[in-house]
Structure 1
Amino acid sequence: MHISFLIHNAYGIGGTIRTTFNLASTLAEQHDVEVVSVFRHREEPVFSPGGKVRLRHLVDLRKGTPGYEGDDPEYERPAAVFPATEGRYKQYSALTDRRIAEHLRTLDSDVVVGTRPGLNVHIAQQARRGPVRVGQEHLTLSTHSQPLKLTLRTHYPRLDAVTTVTEADAATYRKLMRLPGVRVEAVPNSIPAPAVAPADGTGKWVVAAGRLAPAKRYDVLIRAFEKVVAERPDWKLRIYGAGAERAKLRALIDKRGLYNHVFLMGPANPLDPEWVKGSIGAVTSSLESFGMTIVEAMRCGLPVVSTDCPHGPGEIIDDGVDGLLVPVGKTDKIAAGLLKLINDDELRQRMGRAALASSARFDPAEVAGRYERLFGDLVARGSLRGSLHRTRGALLSSAFRTSDASRSALRRVRAA
């Protein structure tokens, strides 16, 4: 198959970019795969798309280069196709509308895959007849505004499939969106096996990673770790990531006197070498669309203590087997979960081995296989539908010819 992904900006940093490249590079082992980035703002992508994946862009925003298009008059005019209800709307324009439309109307592929709601709307409206149209949901339906939900409900019936990253979100789509004839499938994000040896469970570090954003509730983790330190001052916490909450979290660490126990490490890429220095992963989010860092930690041999928030953690962690699920926002419960693993070396190491084994189901080869089967089914269904249309057309044409011949014969009889 020829498979084409359409992504916001493949040259940036984010979970959607990483998982798209993971999927594309694995599919490219057997298929012809390209990633088309609406924007390009730097010379080389941060993440590698893989040697067999073609990467191209539609609008060049590299300042100081001959191809720079940020001063194009169309770039200053608002978009009319990309939905105004989508969070990225202000970054889109009449220029992106035109470039995306030109791309989709001339695209010669078996499958075209959108990776965010606004691009899925473009595909639903503008992809030429023929390619299977797939819209990916990398967040959750419940986090979208009501106006955006109405926009998607209007346009998504023109897609062939919508994929979500959790079964819970797939169930929400099926219940609320009314998409007759559209296949809704849950396919998780993929995480490759780390290039380093797994953690051995002996390092006295708890590790957390992700954007320093309110939804991650690192303030709750820090307060919970204060309780951990009171009992086990020999353990420490590292938090990797950047974001708007950094100053607030730094102030909280200082206020609680935890500056020798809790460390804001900044962003790290790759993270695998940092995960394996620890023995426990920690996630205290109030909401997760999937839980990439949970899987990353597990693939490095760490059991994860995670809040049981919507939607992903409960579908990733087998509570009490390869990690622990604790209530959202409850510092006492989070601290108790961490201390349970800290105080029991045998349990911690056993859960780490279980996490390493169970997280193999998120390997890119496994996830790509699920997408490959989905795409194959949809392409076959499209071919069958096309064949039925052609057969129906031929039968109608034959019927019209027979009808014309019958009318001519009747006229001759009457004339005689």
Structure 2
Amino acid sequence: MSAATDLFIETARGASIASVVPALGLTGLKRIGTGEEAGPCPIAGGRDGFAINTAKNSWVCRKCGDGGRDAIGLAAHVAGLDVKRRADFLEACSMVTGEAVPEDEALSDERRAELAKAREERQAAAEREVARREAEQNRFREREWARCVGDWKAAGPLTGSPAAAYLTARGLALPDPVYARCHPNLPYWFGQGKAAQVLHRGPALLVMFVRPAGDAWQPIGLHRTWIDLSNGPKFRPFIIDPETGEALATKKMRGTKAGGLLPIAGRYSTAIRMVGGEGIESVIGFAMREADETGVFRDDTFYFAAGDLGNLAGRSVDRMRHPSLVKPDRKGRKRPVFVPGEEPDLSSPAAPIPDHVDELVLLGDGDSEPVFTRSAMVRACHRHAQDGRTVRAVIADRGFDWAENGADPAWPLPVPTGEVHSCPR
């Protein structure tokens, strides 16, 4: 091996992953943490199994079972080169340095043709896999949407129904329940495929997830809350996982929620003010605190629920370390817990706030994990801020949600008394 080749290899080994990423043409990567990006593997495709971490000078592909801490290995992975073969190794070094391989060490024409053919075959296989997966997902969405429509059609008006009685039992009231319905006997399915079984049947409160589409709503999913009026204080059934004995969630979503919302009261198209939170009951409770003496909600406000904090705030561009929580790893060592950060990923979907809204109040529950909740509230404020709009996040008192704060007669004032975060941008 010549001195020129030695220097060529040494230069490649000294290169960082951060320095070679632009030259490798990696696309579709999204920031998921400090110095960390994830996306589809350039060889095997997928969605987010491939990741690079420039802070740690490392890369990994879970789909291929490959990874490392050097730029040469990354370049070889991207190009489908075998670093155990000398000519392939030097070609990867060339990709890293941008310099030509010394003449007497270059790849043969036959090997280049072999690599090009293998690369084309891998890309074609990855494209077929993407098409297959998309077709399967489309079929699943169609089946789910058909079930949403069936459940909605089988439901009746809220007034006089068990769902209305449920709200009353919770100390809540909807003066104009145009967006909600009640299913008289909705089955609660558990498991998948042939193993699926019905664990419970009973009345359920239904609200559609919708997206604005011109002057109308586009329904995209369904939120379901099962009801048991004999089981206070939440008045929802106790449904047990037959395998673990643990209690199962009595609120479930079907279809899609991303980028949509659950309308509760008011007119989206004309409201100059919006109030939104995670859950239906919390938003109703807050609306009651703002209502007039007859119980009528503010007529300038559109009230909505997002289903969860992720849909209210959208994804974050990075993570932040929780100040106190830790969890054990596989070896029993304590590791820090990370939560989504405060900076929004504006490319991700979230509940839609129209431009004509000049005041937005975002509700956080005081009985949720406080660090996670506050981070999401700040992120939502940043995401939905625009010139001329006042945005604030209001978190209920510790240990309570807005359903309890709003319904409790000890909280008579229509002014938030929970912690207020003002998030200008």
Which one has the bigger helix percentage? 1
TM tier relative to shorter chain: under 0.3
Which one has the bigger strand percentage? 2
Q: What TM-score do the two structures reach when normalised by structure 1?
A: 0.25
Q: What TM-score do the two structures reach when normalised by structure 2?
A: 0.24
* Bigger CA radius of gyration: 2
